[in-house]
A and B are shown apart, each in its own frame.
Chain A
Amino acid sequence: MGQISLQGVRKSFGPVNIIRGADLDIEDGSFVVFVGPSGCGKTTLLRLIAGLEDVSGGKILIDGKNVVDVPPAKRGLSMVFQSYALYPHMSVRGNIAFGLKMAGLPRAEIDRKVEAAAATLNLTPYLERKPRELSGGQRQRVAIGRAIVREPKAFLFDEPLSNLDAALRVQMRLEVTRLQKQLATTAVYVTHDQVEAMTMADKIVVLNAGNIEQYGSPLELYERPANVFVAGFIGSPKMNFISGDVARQYNAATIGVRPEHLRIDRDGQGWPGTVTVAEHLGSDTFLYVDAGKIGTLTVRYVGELDLAAGDPVSLSPDPARVHRFTEDGTSIRA
């Protein structure tokens, strides 16, 4: 079991409010990603759940039990740190076994569990090596091994992939997701990378300046963002925001159109503009179009499009995919 609830959790360092009151229900076995720009409080929120920071107010319930006064080790959670935080003088075996040893398990049982965890993560050949003799991806796996071997109620991941190169990151992303599904253990994962969030999560928590902006499945966030912040943060390239007269035609203060929902007419109606930059990726073509008063719009076209800088185009949004926002940034639902 690993059901985590936050009820009005607040955290402030002196006069600075880092978390302004978080309410959240994380279901057992789900993979929840905290995402947001740097400084939004996502890591702090994770550390509050872990017990590495004390809450300033509110309750954290794990399986219905308030744990705010329970020390980290007794909460039954395990954590993978950004720097991996492996113990440099211990072998891989020693690293993975440390938590079990501290819990006072018999030697034979520790060995059995460590071997099992190492087998799951393909670490068996490296058990007697020191962390410094391992590559980045292997260290990452040791850190995960240290987390899974304790059979926790939930895993906490603090930007675990940010120190890996791009190719390895994609691979580890897949491995972590697969492992989590296989173990069916609740996971809370912090990242600033919205692609990681979209690909890994069952549910995403978007944080901004200490507030939870929206909590929902990746596609929910993509299709029905609660406000301008979520709309701009989720999706790549970023959503185009247009205000002024054009927005007023839609009865909104601001409208948002994703780059992939802009249609290109070479000579048709719509918003006239000039291509300033065209990026040809083969699979996609990204256009940056100067549309006069409307501003610069990003367009994503699936496939190859024979357009170059300086070419005139007209753009029209897919009317069903236009997001409308009020003055204060919240979404208007039809």
Chain B
Amino acid sequence: MATQQTQLLARSLLAPAVVLLFIWMIVPLAMTVYFSTLHYNLLDPGTESFVGFENFRYFLTDPAFLASLRNTLVLVGSVLGITILLGVPVALLLDQPVVGLNIVRLMVIAPFFVMPTVSALIWKNLLMHPVSGLFAWLFRLVGLEPIDWFNDAPLFAIILIVSWQWLPFATLILLTALQSLDEEQKEAAEMDGARAWSTFIYITLPHLARPITVVILIETIFLLTVFAEIFVTTGGGPGLQTTNIAFLIYSQALVQYDIGNASAGGLVAVVIANIVAFFLVRIVGRNLEA
């Protein structure tokens, strides 16, 4: 943007898009803020009235809130851990020259393209079903009692499903990073007498610090709002065992029809997401600086 003229032109051309995006964002936000201060229940129409922070007090003191917050954090943390701890070795394997590499890579990346509802249904009915599932069959094959995943370890089952979906993402990002690792650096380490493990620890892993950060940040954004997998498999249960914040808000709004309370929950979720983001950026964000 060299001159004032071009600057003005650029701004006026950008303005419509910016304004549209701003309205797109501000209207739902404003309505949510507005609804969160109302007593507004669809089962009780015509009784909308201003209640101040009552909805927030109700939402935050609901025992379901703390349970679902805990579930959310466990879910996000576990999936992050699994996808990175498995993603690094998988990416290292895919970086090796193997016959049929393109097909293998495609297969590894495939789960990412499966819709969350579909993959949840597959896991629920084909893999984890206690009677007809593949895992149940494998357990019986070795003489063990099949696990009823969604009753005995419901959150763990959800974590497995979500990890399966996000592992390809982590692998893909880490793989592209590995491919950008300078070959001469590895050779220099080889000349310096570093064995495979030392090369991994001192050369490869530091090189992966930045992509790992990217994976953590992006995955966190999406994992805070996991919904379809829970809705399709456990419906938040048994009890509250697999209810996360997103699912809790859904059940407030569309099971109990309490719009006011759900709006308050939505705003709380925004605050939680910001808190998580703040700590994440504090912990891993410095890796992103050049």
Answer yes or no: are A and B bound together in one complex. yes
- Residues of chain A having any CB pair with chain B under 8 Å: 50, 52, 71-74, 77-79, 81-83, 85-90, 98-99, 102-103, 146, 150
B202 within 8 A of A: yes
- The answer to whether A52 and B192 touch across the interface, beta carbons within 8 angstroms, is no
- The answer to whether B193 and A50 touch across the interface, beta carbons within 8 angstroms, is no
For B191, the chain A residues whose CB sits under 8 A away are 50, 52, 72-73, 77-79, 99
Q: Would you give the shortest CB distance from B188 to chain A, in whole angstroms?
A: 4
One of A73, A90, A146 near B190 (C-beta < 8 A)? A73
Docked pose: A87 CA to B191 CA in angstroms: 13
- Residues of chain B having any CB pair with chain A under 8 Å: 182, 184-185, 187-195, 198, 202-203, 206-207, 209
Docked pose: A52 CA to B202 CA in angstroms: 20
Docked pose: A98 CA to B190 CA in angstroms: 11
- The answer to whether B188 and A79 touch across the interface, beta carbons within 8 angstroms, is yes
- The answer to whether A87 and B184 touch across the interface, beta carbons within 8 angstroms, is no
One of B187, B206, B207, B209 near A85 (C-beta < 8 A)? B187
For B187, the chain A residues whose CB sits under 8 A away are 52, 72, 79, 81, 85
Given known A-B contacts A77-B191, A78-B191, A83 and B182 have beta carbons under 8 A apart: yes
For A146, the chain B residues whose CB sits under 8 A away are 188, 192
26 CB contacts below 8 A, A to B, read A52-B187, A52-B190, A74-B193, A77-B191, A78-B192, A79-B187, A79-B188, A81-B184, A81-B187, A81-B188, A83-B184, A85-B182, A85-B184, A85-B185, A87-B189, A87-B202, A87-B203, A89-B209, A90-B202, A98-B202, A99-B192, A99-B193, A102-B192, A102-B194, A102-B198, A146-B192
Q: Would you give the shortest CB distance from B286 to chain A, in whole angstroms?
A: 12
For A71, the chain B residues whose CB sits under 8 A away are 190
For A86, the chain B residues whose CB sits under 8 A away are 185, 188
One of B192, B202, B206 near A73 (C-beta < 8 A)? B192
CB nearest neighbor in A for B187: A52
CB nearest neighbor in A for B209: A89
For A99, the chain B residues whose CB sits under 8 A away are 191-193
Central interface residue in B187, B189, B192, B195, by most chain A CB within 10 Å: B192
Instruction: Given contacts A79-B191, A87-B203, list 8 more A-B pairs with CB under 8 A.
Output: A52-B191, A85-B182, A85-B187, A86-B188, A87-B188, A88-B207, A98-B202, A146-B192
Docked pose: A90 CA to B203 CA in angstroms: 9
Docked pose: A326 CA to B190 CA in angstroms: 47
One of B184, B192, B207, B209 near A98 (C-beta < 8 A)? B192
3 A-B pairs with least C-beta separation: A73-B193, A99-B192, A85-B184
Docked pose: A72 CA to B193 CA in angstroms: 8
For A89, the chain B residues whose CB sits under 8 A away are 206-207, 209
- The answer to whether A82 and B203 touch across the interface, beta carbons within 8 angstroms, is no
